[in-house]
Each structure stands twice: as structure tokens, then as C-alpha cells.
Amino acid sequence: MKKEIGIGLLGFGVVGSGVAKILHHHQEDLTYKLGVPVAIRRVLIQNKQKQRETVLPKDVFTDSLDDLLNDESIDIIVEVFGGMNHAKSAMERALKAGKGVVTANKDVMAVHGRELLSLADQNGCDLFYEASVGGGIPLIRTLEDGLASDRITSLLGIVNGTTNFILTKMKHEKKTYEEALAEATELGFAEADPTADVGGIDAARKMAILASLSFSEEVQLDDVYVRGMDAIEDGDLELAEQFGYTVKMAGSAKKDEQGVEVSVEPVFFPNEHPLASVNNEFNAVYVRGAAVGETMFYGPGAGSLPTATSVTADIVAACRNLLLGVNGKRVHSYQYERKVKADDQKFARYFHRISVQDEIGVLSRLSAIYSKNGASLATVIQHANPNREDADLIFITHAISRKQHLDVLNELKTAPQVNGVLSHYRIEGD
């Protein structure tokens, strides 16, 4: 029986220091729950000379990964320094050394998750990655354990706290995008370089992870259709409100007999939909199962302590497996072959905002483009622009395929009566 479980921490930034605080301040609770104490033995950092406010003694810090991998008192490696190649290599070496791994790295898990999980199986080690998705929401553990007996058919939700914070400030406080982003950065919800967040890549990585796990089928990052916040034009949020909608950066994953479809993009939700009222840095995900129906998971999706809490929960799970002697016993292979839908197999309602010349006959000519492509229209509204010779036409379709949607947009862009397609959105939750 082990008398103590040793932890090797890779990185001591916002999340790493948060993990250290939780392990220190909750040590009595952890010891009670596990039966043995959990101690951080070594911490890998880049600069040993940097001054740090921490309860850990100075001699635990090192700039050599070998110090952690060769330390027999370390049972679990916790990777929280982020990035891609360096982190992937460190996790590979840890697993090959027979040490369990806990990571918050969505970048690595989205791209290399399958091979790392396979490596964990080969070496009889655990690999936990709860904190890679959803901040403080226990999504992955729920999908792996709580809903293991069900067949998941779809996921829909907000999985990036930064973009949700920005959109909340823009809608409710009428801040500009730049003002909202600056506030998110100041509060620590946005990275110094927010490109991955606002471009939708961060959410796409998370959706690839969730979809792969939910559907027991490999979903690659390139399989995810991505549109970023730059697709949101001036006036769109106010226009959405006029029609009873709220704009959210949403991730969606669906599976049926035709295959899997996964997307991340700005979406129109009816104002009465629960996701429309998820504000600030919070995340929320709907999971639909064949048996359980629809369940919703809600919680903080950004910030150091929510993420550190998820990391620590994985540490506790890995510790329990070690103490029970069942570490590395989970099977991570996918049940189904990869099968991704084509655009003509993906269906939704769409909102199109088009600037046109304000003249007789334009509406009928543009409606003919929809009809030609088999796209049925539910709503057509003209917004005239006072003192100008153009107008905005709003078309809301019935359910059409993404191919029909894109074909219509391409024809509209070249129509002589059209000044430009100003914006377009998928409509969810009607």
C-alpha cells in the first residue's frame, strides 16, 4: 500500500499555480478521501531565477524534464504548460516511463489524442484530460462514465468563455468588440493573443475532442466547419434582437446513420432558448442521448481556478486508480469507423442579410435564386435605408442543406441587383 502519491507538475503558470494552491489548501480533504496524502515532488519551469509566490519550497523547481521522469517517487505527471510539440513530447516520454498523465491541453488532445491514448493503453497508464474542455464543467467524465450506457446523438453549446464574455458585453453593455476584448484580457479570460479564441479554433479543438468521445469515432480537427467572430458584422446583434434572436459562438456535433457533422460558428438562438441566457465567461453544453433525452451542463469556462479544479479532479481519479491497482485498464479505441457528412447531408435553417438596390422587381429576382436551388423561404423582410438608394433584404429559410445555403450565397454575390451579402447565420433551437 502506497503511503503517499507523488506529483510532477509541468508548468507553473496560471493553471499550474492554481493546482498547487488547491492541493495545498485541500490536503486534509484529499487525504481523507484517498487515504494517503498527495504531494507535489517536482515542478518543471523554464526560468529557475524567476521570483514566485508559492507555498512550495524552492528546491522542487527544476528546468530539466529528466528530473521528473527519473524520480521514482513521482507517480503522476500533470502537464499544464500548454503548447503543442513540447507538451506532446513530454506526455509521450512520461507515458513510456510508466507514469500516468493528467493534462489540460486541448491543442494536443484534439490533434494527437488518439495516439496518446493508444500509448497510454500500451504502457498500462492513465491519461486524463477533463480540463481540456469546459473549464470547471465535468463534461468528459460525464460522457465517459455517467452517460456510458447511453448512445449520444448530439451536442450543442458554448465551449469558449472568451467569445461568450465578449458577445455578452457587446449585447448587454453596448461595448465595441475592441472594448469587450480589452476587458476580457484584463480579467484573464482572454490570452494575450486571442486569435484562437475569436477565430473559433479553440472551440473547434474542444468540439473535436467531445465529438470523438461522444460518438466513439475519430473526429479530426479538419472535420470541423469553423467560422470566427469576424463573421459578425456591425448591426448584426441589434438585428438579431429585432427578430427575437441572440448571437452566440456555438459548437455543434451531430451523428446519425449518414455520419458525423461538427461545426463552430456564430449562431442565432431564439431569446427564450436557455443557451441565449448563458452570459459572460460561462459555458453550457446540451447533450442529447437516445435514452436519457436532453441534459444540460453549465459552469465557468474560463479562469485559473475552474480549470485547476478540473485538473485536480483528474489527479484524484488517477490517484484512486493507482491505489486500487486498476490504472491503465480503460480501453480507448474507437468503436466506429470515421464517417463525416458531406455538405448536402447537413441541414439547418439560415438567416441571410443582403444589401440590394432599392428598385422594383429585385425581391422577385432574388427569390427566384432560392427557388432554383430548392431553398424554401419562411420569412422575407425588406429594411429600407432612408436617404440611400439601397435596402437590406432579410431572408430566413426553412431547413435546407449547407450545400444549398452556400450555393444560394454564391449566386447572390454575383447577382447584378446585389451590392453584397452582409452576413449569414445558422439558426438553432427553434
Burial of 422 (0-12, 13-18, 19+ CB in 10 A): middle
Q: Are strands 259-270 and 418-427 parallel, antiparallel or unpaired?
A: parallel
Cα–Cα dist 154/271, whole Å: 21
Q: Are 316 and 30 in contact (CB under 8 A)?
A: yes
Any bridge partners for residue 101, and if so which? 77, 127
As a whole number of angstroms, the distance between CA 414 and CA 410 comes to 7
Strand ranges (DSSP E) for 81-208?
Answer: 100-103, 127-128, 152-158
Which uninterrupted H or E stretch holds 87? Answer: helix 85-96
Q: What is the DSSP letter of 336?
A: B
99, 171, 206, 255: the catalytic one is: 206
Which residues contact residue 235 at a Cβ distance below 8 angstroms, ignoring those fewer than 6 apart?
none
Annotation says 206 is catalytic: yes
User: How many CB atoms are located within 10 Å of the residue 13 CB?
Assistant: 12
By the 8 A CB rule, do 128 and 102 touch?
yes
- Residue 407 corresponds to which cell in the numbers above? 450555393
Amino acid code (one letter) for 162: T
Structure-derived torsion over alpha carbons of residues 372, 373, 379, 382, reported in degrees to the nearest 10: -60
Instruction: List Cα–Cα distances, 118 to 104, 133, 222, 390, in angstroms.
Output: 18, 20, 21, 59
Residues annotated as part of the active site: 206
